[in-house]
Amino acid sequence: MIFRYNICIVLLVVLSIWASIEGRSISRFLTDETVGTKWAVLVAGSHGWWNYRHQADVCHAYQILKKGGLKDENIIVFMYDDIANNTMNPRPGVIINNPHGQNVYKGVPKDYVGKDVSADNFFNVILANKSGITGGNGKVLKSGPNDHIFIYYVDHGGPGILSMPTGFMYAKDLTDVLKKKHASGTYNKLVFYLESCESGSMFDGLLPKGLNIYVTTASKPNEDSWGTYCGQVSASDPCLVECSPPEFKGLCLGDLYSVAWMEDSEAQDRRTETLGDQYNVIAKRTAANLAYGSHVMQYGDTGISVDALFQYMGAASVNHSYVSMNFKSSSQNVNQRDAELFYLKSKYEDAPEGSDEHFKTRAELTKTMAHRSQVDRSIEHLAELLFGAEKGNELLKTVRPAGQPLVDNWDCLKFYVKTFEAQCGKLTSYGKKHIRGIANICNAGIESEQMTAATAQACPI
């Protein structure tokens, strides 16, 4: 008996030494090899040519997971699919996510496209509620209790909301769905990567620990996120190193946080690099400075960050062409809220002087800028009517302490956003930043009758 015991100890020591040489502990080795099915849900929630980068990000993510060994039956893709074959595309049928120009569109599943890219479909896919799906091919997240899930979402956003081609997705609704998924016992661990402006507000104060969910976001609850690999607008606004090809002038090929995690995933051995390691790489590359950047955040069960990337993304051969990527000023970066203006200014610069295109683009640019000013004035006037000039201005800028959700009453926020949009016009990717101000109106206890009357006065039709 003692002899057998000693033999077992020796074997464990040998295995431990071997695992250490490979850069992994025994526990991680065993977890890697015994994990159930790997699932992924990839979402680009925007549409329109100037939002090229979002679908490019999602297509690139698909290629990484596919090369990592995930099967198409276990990868669910949401994207409007209006980029690859857009008449504006200088490379028809091709989407690139970095200046080197690999086609990331090839082979990407068309699970949910066009109007089927919706919050309801996204929620029903997560919950495997096939009967609740509208359109699409009906693919849902049929995960089991031993499975690992990776969700990657990239889009415009605002405080407490994510955009969809039509409508919003609210933070409270998202976390409620994640709680239901956990209660169903149909996953082991879930990792969620989110790129949008104010993306931290989707989880801060809302996502509890104990759900076996680990989240990283591109920005703090009160920060914008950034596009990258953007083509210059003019000679006075140059891109010096990693520039998009000339035919993509005015577009961003990717988003800073998204490109950071994907290029790191291709450059490192995903069997040894952990989620925490990748978080540090992303945070360093995305870090806020005087010119651009944001603070990458973590939420949920951060202990999951010791897991190897392989457990969620699969493993593939290392692509050494992406190794030297922790540079700061290598590419043009554009605030996501300004990406539309960046595109329109470029289009205006390129149009021949005096041409129809020149006048048309100038009108479009003027209209966009006027709308931004109008929504700024409307929300400021609304706050002044409700609270007075000084207090109203202060309320609009108030940011709750970390750990508190954006708003106490989410039904109030939904109703007041609808009230504001009905009277003052739809909130664009720029205007969505003002949702924090509307949330603060709810938090101040303003009654619906007051809100309706003040909105009508602030934005008379």
Q: What is the DSSP secondary-structure string of 392-453?
A: HHHHHH--PPTTS-S-S-HHHHHHHHHHHHHHH----TTGGGGHHHHHHHHHTT--HHHHHH
Q: Which of 54, 60, 148, 197 is catalytic?
A: 197
10 C-beta neighbours (distance < 10 Å), count: 10
Tokens 């914008």 appear where?
A: 224
DSSP assignment of 126-141, as one string?
Answer: HTT-GGG--SS-----
CA distance 298 to 381: 36
CA distance 53 to 62: 14
Other beta carbons within 10 angstroms of residue 247's beta carbon come to 10
Torsion sign across C-alpha atoms 414, 417, 418, 419: positive
Asked about 371 being catalytic, the answer comes back as no
Report yes or no: 169 and 119 within 8 Å, Cβ to Cβ.
yes
To the nearest 10°, report the CA torsion of 202, 207, 211, 215: 40
Cα separation of the two ends of the chain: 89
Q: Which residue out of 47, 54, 148, 156 is catalytically annotated?
A: 156
List the beta bridge partners of residue 168.
Answer: 163
In contact, 282 and 308? CB cutoff 8 Å: no
CA gap 407, 150 in Å, rounded? 28
Q: How far apart are CA 94 and CA 84, in angstroms?
A: 5
Asked if 333 contacts 292 with a C-beta cutoff of 8 angstroms, the reply is yes
Give DSSP secondary structure letters for 212-239.
Answer: -EEEEESS-TT---EEEEEBPSSTTS--
197 given a catalytic annotation? yes
Instruction: Name which of 104, 112, 46, 120 is nearest 77 in CA terms.
Output: 112
Cβ neighbours, 10 Å, residue 441: 27
Active site residues: 156, 197
